[in-house]
Amino acid sequence: MILIKLGGSVITDKTQYRTFNQECVSRLFDEIKKSERGVLIVHGAGSFGHVIAKQYSLQNGLVDFGQIPAVAKVQYDVRELNSMIIAELLKKGIPAVSIPPGSCFIMDNGKLIIKDPEVMLAFSHLGLMPVLFGDVVIDRKKGFGICSGDQIMEILCDLYKPEKVIFVSDIDGLYDKDPKNNKDAKLIDEVTSEKLENINSYSNIDDVTGGVRGKMEAMLRISTERRDCVLINGTVPDRLYSLLKGDKVISTIAKGGLK
Ligand code: IPE
């Protein structure tokens, strides 16, 4: 089985509040179908989550009660996005069900805990695809917190032991500088713990969950000696399909785990 995270940058327009990239999502699901590989999908929040989460600093947990209506709004918005994702999967004949992290799981000082995965695993055993996503989740220490799709990926790796993990984004991979502002930015095709030390930290200002470096660290934690974790550009047609078929594609591959 292959575990895939569809990043918010590919399934939404991150600069426009609540803009769903329906065409792109539909094409990506066609590519998954065409590859005939068994997959599990997690998705990010994009502009359905980050815009309001940033405005009300939801990533810091409960600071003042003025944040509470924003918690409800973000939860509502990411559920709407999840419904649109599930609708696309159903159109392709992939039976998918929603598992909203905010209603099932808890965090402890920012760390996501899935105590009881029984429901999720039972859906999988029936041949249904549980779809989890970035959400606002209750935190025992901070009141609430932002649970990113990347944190969910780490937990699903422990539960499902996928053979490969893919992060689908709107960039070709990790660059040594922010490629959106630097024309001379170079793609790094392989990342190891040692190489990460030398990479400049840059991040998208609208992202409340750690930016590119945070994502690479999460990818390294997910990778093992036997399991690569690959970051690809999902806006390029057939790149996901080629990778699923086992071809070498333009990407950044995280290898060997985070040391
Ligand atoms: C963020 O999830 C969740 C919220 C802001 C509610 P992610 O961090 O996984 O989302 P993307 O992929 O960066 O958009």
pLDDT at 148: 94
CA distance 8 to 21: 10
pLDDT at 94: 96
- The CATH class given to the 2-254 domain equals alpha beta
Total Cβ atoms within 10 A of residue 234: 25
Q: Please identify, by atom number, the ligand 1 atom nearest to the C-alpha of residue 207.
A: 13
Distance 158 CA to ligand 1 centre (A): 20
The ligand 1 atom nearest the CA atom of 49:
5
CB neighbourhood size of 61 (10 A): 17
Ligand 1 atom nearest the C-alpha of 9 is 14
In which residue are the tokens 């999502």 written?
25
Q: At what angle do helices 118-125 and 149-160 cross, to 10 degrees?
A: 60
- Cross-strand partners of 168: 6, 232
Buried-state track 137-166, b at ≥16 Cβ within 10 A, e below 16 = bebeebebbbbbbbbbbebbbeebebebbb
Q: Split the chain (259 residues) into runs of 10 and give each run's mean pLDDT.
A: 97 96 98 97 98 97 98 98 98 97 96 93 98 98 96 94 96 81 87 78 54 76 94 97 97 92
Q: For residue 145, what are its two tokens? A: 């917190």
Question: Ligand 1 pocket: which residues have CB below 6 Å?
Answer: 7-8, 44-46, 49-50, 53, 74, 78, 134-136, 146, 148-150, 207-209
- Cα–Cα dist 153/218, whole Å: 9
Closest ligand 1 atom number to CA of residue 210: 8
The residue contributing the CA closest to ligand 1 atom 8 is 148
For the CA atoms of 74, 166, 33, 75, the dihedral, rounded to the nearest 10 degrees, stands at: -10
- For residue 208, report the distance from its CA to the centre of ligand 1, in Å: 8
Buried b (16+ CB within 10 A) or exposed e, 24-33: bbebbbbbbe
What is the Å distance from ligand 1's center to 209 Cα?
A: 7
pLDDT value of residue 205: 43
User: Which pLDDT score is estimated for 71?
Assistant: 98
How confident is the model at residue 20, as a pLDDT? 98
CA nearest neighbour of 39 among 174, 147, 131, 106? 131
In angstroms, the CA 114 to CA 100 distance is 12
pLDDT at 208: 55
Question: Ligand 1 mean position to 134 CA, how many Å?
Answer: 5
Q: Are strands 111-113 and 39-43 parallel, antiparallel or unpaired?
A: unpaired
Q: How far is the CA of 201 from the centre of ligand 1 (A)?
A: 19
Q: Quote the ligand 1 centre to 182 CA distance (angstroms).
A: 24
Pocket test for ligand 1, best of 12, 13, 148, 212 (most atoms within 8 A of CB): 148
